[in-house]
Amino acid sequence: MRVLILSATTGGGHMRAAYALKDYIKSQNPDSSVMISDTIQYISPFLNKAVTEGYVYLATKTPKLFGYVYRNADKDDTPLNKTIDLATTTVRNKLRPLIDEFKPDIIISTHTFASEIFTALKIKEGFNLPIISIMTDFAVHQTYINEGVDAYIVSSHEMINQMVERGVERVKIYPYGIPVKQEFFNSIDRQKAFESEGMNPDIPTVLIMAGSFGVTDVLKIYHKIVKSPENFQVIVITGKNEKLYETFDRYLSKITFNNSILDIEKSLRPKYLTHLSRNRKPTKPTKLMYYTDEVEKYMHMADIIVTKPGGLTVSEAIASELPMGIFKAIPGQEEQNADFLVRGHMAVRLEKDNTCTKIITDLIANPEKLKSMKQAIREFSRGNSSANIYILMKELLKKYGNEEAIDRKEEQITDK
């Protein structure tokens, strides 16, 4: 079986979903060939740079404008949508060499623009290939809906009716959720995990996933959280945000050490070494980390995660049955994700003001509230999305008369 997964690097979640699905397919069918294409980069590195940098700029510097653009793109017959359609038509043929070279049996998309490009090419060229479109947020957006898509993977039953209202056949909609790595579903030995990290397994743990956005906002949230009178510890993961890591590192070090020791300590500490603070101020032991490929371990260690509501991070937290404190939701998909999670009692909203301290204090002081949030997550969880998508892939191949592709041995090809 030859599977082509079309994705893009606008935000980190689309590619994470793609790799999670690839890993699962390969675990079930080692003889399959699965290629992930960073689609916009493949079509045009210049276009990819413009799109990804434009996305980050709008989301971080002008969030209200980002929300306006997002809402306008969610309507039919707007000048923005006509521009998107024109761009899709213009670049669709540039995807043709990839299709001709790889010769996929099935196409899966984890990004709206990638889906639009291939469906436009599919209709124009008459490709007899099934395509599955995975929606990587918790609300419907018009740009995901395209003629030629055989199946839509959505995150909740609530989204089914939203899709039907927009003209999608109900039979094409599958509420399987967003693919995440299998490790997020697997339990861990928490006692050993805490011991290996030099942390206390007997007090609550707050995990802060800072991501790629904002330094000031994250520091303010942290500063408010650690003012809580409750006893707990904190893990901060900054991701590949160097500025945020170094700012946190200086903040924790200045409080922990006097100036003479600080200078020696800083000169000896390699860049991005994990920093475990056990200082008097802030009053909570804090473990600072730069980048880790073991996010699932820290989610399983934590009692609550403080994060921006990106679709993939949220899905990973749901798989880990981890209650969420949501901060700094970008207008648009993140705001809609946050609304959905709060409605479902899986998350609370955190603001930079003093209510943040009160909300965290209330949750830590009342374990029953956290327990009820975990139960709500457990009841909502869609289970392993990748497993369900894999079954659907085989059903679609049979429907397209290509059943022999399922167990065919394939030459392995690298991602593009």
Residue 281 in domain: yes
Q: Mean pLDDT over residues 157-182, rounded?
A: 95
Q: Mean pLDDT over residues 91-102, rounded?
A: 88
172 and 195 co-located in one domain: no
Round the average pLDDT of the chain to a whole number and report it: 86
Residue 202 has pLDDT above 60, yes or no: yes
Which of 62-76, 117-131, 218-232, 276-290 has the lowest average pLDDT? 276-290
312 and 350 co-located in one domain: yes
The sheet that has 2-7: what strands, in order across it? 33-38, 2-7, 106-109, 131-134, 151-153, 173-174
252 and 401 co-located in one domain: no
155 and 279 co-located in one domain: no
Confidence of residue 331 (pLDDT cuts 50, 70, 90): confident
Residue with tokens 């359609």: 85
**Alpha helix segments (H runs only) across 130-258:** 158-165, 190-196, 216-225, 242-256
Which of 66-70, 269-273, 372-376 has the lowest average pLDDT? 269-273
Q: Which pLDDT does position 233 carry in this prediction? A: 94
358 and 391 co-located in one domain: no
Residue 413 in domain: no
Confidence of residue 317 (pLDDT cuts 50, 70, 90): very high
Residue 412 in domain: no
174 and 190 co-located in one domain: no
Q: Mean pLDDT over residues 243-252, rounded?
A: 82
Residue 399 has pLDDT above 80, yes or no: yes
Contact 161, 174 (CB under 8 A): no
372 and 388 co-located in one domain: no
Residue 414 in domain: no
Closest CA to 328 of 217, 165, 204, 167: 217
Q: Which pLDDT does position 327 carry in this prediction? A: 87
Q: Which pLDDT does position 280 carry in this prediction? A: 46
Provide the domain count of the chain: 2
Q: Which pLDDT does position 265 carry in this prediction? A: 39
Query: 87 versus 42: which is more confidently predicted?
Result: 42
32 and 124 co-located in one domain: yes
243 and 145 co-located in one domain: no
pTM above threshold 0.85:
yes
285 and 176 co-located in one domain: no
CATH number at residue 349: 3.40.50.2000
Q: What is the domain range of residue 95?
A: 2-182+383-405
